[in-house]
Amino acid sequence: MSQDRDSRLESLFADAQQEFVDENFSSAVMNRIEARGRRVLIGRLAIAALLIAFELLMDSPLQNSVGALTEMLGTTLFDIEHEWLAFTLAPVNSIAGLLGLTLVGLHLAYRKFFY
């Protein structure tokens, strides 16, 4: 591919270059970084406080829900008679396994079509 450039335009671009070594610019960026860091910290503290409050309020119902969910995820999809085969397929022969495989499949499909 030809890269022909007009020499006069090239020199105009070169002449337009300015040297910036501006401490104010650097400190403005660092101030914005500090401010963002503070906002993130406050956000995390707020979320932590909410989670603690939620845990205190919902202690018992939450534990019941988590227990039920864990039980549901562990439910086997197919009854396999042979013990060794059931043991081998155990990681995928459950609702959790199915969910995991679906997520991996979706991730691979996303990478294939959108990258």
State the residues that interact with other proteins by CB under 8 A: 1-3, 5-6, 8-10, 12-13, 16-22, 25-26, 28-30, 32-33, 36
- Of 31 and 70, the one with the shorter C-beta distance to other proteins is 31
The dihedral through the CA atoms of 75, 76, 82, 88 has a sign that is negative
Closest approach, Cβ 41 to other proteins, in A, equals 14
- Of 29 and 90, the one with the shorter C-beta distance to other proteins is 29
Closest approach, Cβ 34 to other proteins, in A, equals 9
Matching residue, tokens 């019941």: 64
- Of 35 and 48, the one with the shorter C-beta distance to other proteins is 35
Closest approach, Cβ 13 to other proteins, in A, equals 4
Closest approach, Cβ 111 to other proteins, in A, equals 17
Beta bridge partners of 76: 94
Half-sphere exposure of 42 (CA within 13 A, CB side): 6
- Of 4 and 81, the one with the shorter C-beta distance to other proteins is 4
